[in-house]
Structure 1
Amino acid sequence: MTNLDPAVIAARFGPRADVGHLALTGEHGVVLPAFTDHHVHLDLFAEHALAARGIAGVVDLGGDPYALARRDPHAVPRPAYAGAFLTAPAGYPTGRSWAPDAIVRHVTDPSRHPGVAGGAATAVDEQIECGARVIKVALNAEAGPTPEPPIIEAIVAHAHDRGVPVVAHAQGTGMFARALDAGIDALAHTPFTEILDEADIARAVTAEQIWISTLDIHRDAPEHARTAETNLTRFHAAGGRTLYGTDLGNGDLPVGVDPREISALVAAGFDAAAVVAALADPWPFPDAVPGVCTFVPGRPPGDERDLGAWLATASTVPIDEISRDEP
């Protein structure tokens, strides 16, 4: 019997948190909903260790749609994906060493008629027919041309008609406003190139725009890190919905729960329950990864600043391998 108190754990980590032990080993710990990393690139890292290190679901935000379509949809980590980046001719990430032609589509026409070369509907339909659960638009004004507003609006409208949300990589002055004006559902990164004012934040929250955190990727870019933290602190305080995401595959990031990303969320004002909510949100799926949960061994730390190191010891385990502790 562990001295962890289920009521205290639920009060701190959210109503779905519990106390239990592994049936085979008897190891005690905290049982949490299955975790998802909402921003990865599966072709840029070895994913085999993710589940053992606490990640049960992933959202690939830029890859070859035909290669992604061949993935087992019932695997753990459960994959969701956007397919190719939709961008302007010569726009980001065209020409990057890590971005072969297969992961980029140039959209040149706002046409919503199927089969139009370079058309918005053509690009969206291709990704969805390959199984995409989200569409990604590249709005990186610091790295080349970006799609004009009529094209973005057509992409968003067509994706919404097909029941799929749209996420944008918004980078550079004015790109956040362009994404928000077009009805973009989610941002692939917390805005990091411009400080948003209170009106910007309020508009995003009112529009129910989702932000994917990706704070740790700025650890070697202090100005971007400060801007992202400032924006996310305001967004979170205003009631905005944030998802945990790391951009795994982009640089030296741990495969599994990233303790630095957790610590950055805490620095932005997230308590333990908010951190777990960001990790356990099943978006873009409506429901959690079936049949599994997150198990974190031992007692949680008393100080939220130590939360990242503790959560980084998590693993994904089948629900039926957990025995619940008696209160």
Structure 2
Amino acid sequence: MKSLPTERVAGLSTAFVALAALCWGLSGGIGGILTGEGWDPVVVSFYRGAIGFLFVLAWLALRPRGSGLGNKKLWLWSLLAGVGVAGNFAFYFLSIAEGSVAVAAMLMYCAPVFVYLVSFTLRLEQPSVFKWVAIVMVLLGVVLLTGIYDVGAGEVTLVAAGAGLLSGLSYAVFIFGFKYAAPHGSPQAILVIAFAVMAVILFALGNPEQTVAVLSTSSWPLFLILGVIGAGLSFIFYIIGLNHTAPAVASIVAMVEPVTASLFGVAVLGESLGLVQLLGMALILVTVTALSVYSNSRRKVASV
């Protein structure tokens, strides 16, 4: 049996990454619909994660080799990843409920900035002028996007802005947990533990009545779609796609998520963005993507 050409494999892998980002962008829009109907953001997050857990569990059952489930370090870092993804999902949908899909998605896209700040603090990454300038530019973009410089007149509430930034910070925690768990086991094993921890946390924090009511509501198809594309297939697509996708390319392709979420909010939910907000979005998108590409290129040079 002939193997696929390297170029074709890379193209397919990049397509998987783009598809995962598209799924995450759409999940923000679906979350906006559900929270707009009055569903608790934590309950929405729970079902997104719980359904995703079933998918990664099936993935682990099909690919059990090298799981590393007997390794204590795998469990430790995967537990941290679970706390991170729980916060990411919950704060993201809270930001959507209190503000808009576009703003929430863009604030979460700031996650790489939090990764750098934590790395600087833990001395895992060396700061540079470029990195600090990029961080300042992203913060300026956040200010323009949220309008926090004029709270009284701004359309974005402090709760929405704060929750959006916390979703990005939580995603950074997930990234760290997953990164340090990876050497000790398989991606599917890490995700199973992380999603199980996330489901337990969100179930405990959610509204019990609403959690049960979802099972008999007419909105259950949206919850199912959210879980399938927002946590089930998307994470699997992303992990598989990263195997043969250059990190710099993945960083650029990741822009599909906030752009998709923003377009969904404007086209489907009737959200609107002012000129200053659009400028803030553009500043965040360009700077975060440039920062990611710069970081990946530096790592590649350092490894040569």
Q: Compute the TM-score of the two structures, normalised by the length of structure 2.
A: 0.26
Larger RCO (alpha carbons 8 Å, 6+ apart): 2
Q: Compute the TM-score of the two structures, normalised by the length of structure 1.
A: 0.25
- The structure with the larger Rg is 1
Question: 1 or 2, which has the higher helix percentage?
Answer: 2
